Amino acid sequence: MARWRAYGLGQFIHWGLYSIPAGEWNGKIYNGAAEWIRTWKEVSPQAYDSLIYRFNPAKFNPDSWAAVAKQMGVKYVTITTKHHDGFCLWPSKFTDFTVANSPYKKDIIGPLVKAYDKQGIDVILYFSVMDWHNPDWQYDIKTRDDSIAFNRFKQFTRNQLLELLTRYPSAKGLWFDGTWDKSWVKQAAFADSLETEMRKLHPGLIIGSRFRADEYGKRHFDSNGNLMGDYEQGWERKIPEKITDVHGNDWDCVMTIPENQWGYAKTWQGHIKTADELLEMLAKCVSLDGNFVLNFGPKPDGTLRAEELSLAKAIGDWMAVNKEAIYSGEYAGFIKQDWGYFIKSTASNKIYMLVFNIPVSGLLRVVTPSHTVIRKAYGLDNAASNYTPEEIGASTYFIHLNQQTTPKKPFVIVLETGEAAKGQTGGYEKAKT
Ligand code: 16Z
């Protein structure tokens, strides 16, 4: 988890049969998430499942995906091995509904793991427990037949998970999804023993809080209020506002570029996030002790769409200059200010100011924790660019920006701080009221 904590930035990949229709069925474009198209009432599940005969990503090149991720500066990637539709991107022995029976025939996961490993990017395997293709999957267990079928399903799930961990031993963790239905929530004992089995097979395995419920059906946090799993997996398309929201837990935020599309959708509707917006989300997450994971939905031919490539490039260009403020960054303990986010480095004593909103005055307020003084302030992109913080009150400073030269891009100021000399009060007198 120490390694996980230092990641800062991650990539999510949603790829599967849903990338072929890409949100469009019989000429109609659906606004819902493209990877859910199998469930729209106009879509026949049989027709959807036949997409397996069209899965043939001729231009898939795992090394080029990994190179994009490397340039972007991500430290880990989460890849869908099987989404809710049940289609497996690895040749699972436990179902026919896999890449092996598509025209592509080859394993997708193995080469991806290898390519990302080669770039030094850790891999987490996404796995949906809910499986629309498997007739044994149930939403709830109401009859004896449901129970018999679901018992088969549990063994199937166990087989697939042990298979994934055996085939891809370098994976660092599992990202579970589709675990919210009553059927699975009732399997606390089974899930608990499966978790133990997986951890034994794969020491150090990281599992988030979505995997299992407790015996009272509580999810994420058990009936005693304790986090279940290694990190909180509830921050999906939302970000905490303040440090007390995260209760001292590890967490990551998974985020889409448009409003709610994970799989490839031909047409993105509504607001599409900009690089600066995404960078601000990244800064906010790291400043509150979390990781930020940006989703990509590759096209059916195996290439990445132009919008995602250009965002990845812009984020990577920013990271090339400012990564020191992101990796190994944690909550700084400074009062949040309107211009942006404070991040403290766990690797040094430096404090980073990630500036996103420049005030009209050009003055950035910094209130230091008690007995802490600023010794030095300079631009992360240029250690020679000194700022002279003006002390304006007890533990309170203004950093003066040169409004002529301040870039119109998010930037970082490094603060080197120290302990105030004994008895040093700054001479500021408190009001008597
Ligand atoms: C609103 O109900 C949802 C929304 C998203 C149920 C499931 C999901 C899936 C998405 O398809 C994507 O995989 C996301 C991470 N997951 C929670």
Side chain identity at residue 415, one-letter code: L
**How far apart are the CA of 17 and the centre of ligand 1, in A?**
16
The tens digit of pLDDT for each residue in 162-175 reads 999 999 999 999 99
pLDDT at 424: 62
Of ligand 1's listed atoms, the one at least distance from the Cα of 295 is: 15
**How far apart are the CA of 210 and the centre of ligand 1, in A?**
12
What's the start-to-end Cα distance of the chain, in Å?
Answer: 49
pLDDT at 104: 98
The label of the residue with tokens 């440090």 reads 243
**How far apart are the CA of 55 and the centre of ligand 1, in A?**
22
Q: Which residues contact 254 (CB under 8 A, 6 or more apart)?
A: 12, 78, 235, 236, 237, 293, 295
**How far apart are the CA of 341 and the centre of ligand 1, in A?**
29
Burial of 384 (0-12, 13-18, 19+ CB in 10 A): exposed
The tens digit of pLDDT for each residue in 109-149 reads 999 999 999 999 999 999 999 999 999 999 999 999 999 99
Task: Tell me the C-alpha distance between 77 and 252, whole Å.
Answer: 12
- DSSP for 167-216 reads H-TT--EEEEES--SHHHHT-HHHHHHHHHHHHHHSTT-EEBTTS-B-TT
Of ligand 1's listed atoms, the one at least distance from the Cα of 14 is: 13
Task: Tell me the C-alpha distance between 249 and 310, whole Å.
Answer: 33
**pLDDT, mean of residues 73-99:** 99
User: Which amino acids bring their CB within 6 angstroms of ligand 1?
Assistant: 14, 33, 35, 177, 236, 254, 262
Structure tokens at 355: 């500036």
Q: What is the DSSP letter of 334?
A: S
The residue whose C-alpha atom lies closest to atom 13 belonging to ligand 1 is 262
**pLDDT, mean of residues 355-381:** 95
The tens digit of pLDDT for each residue in 213-257 reads 999 999 999 999 999 999 999 999 999 999 999 999 999 999 999
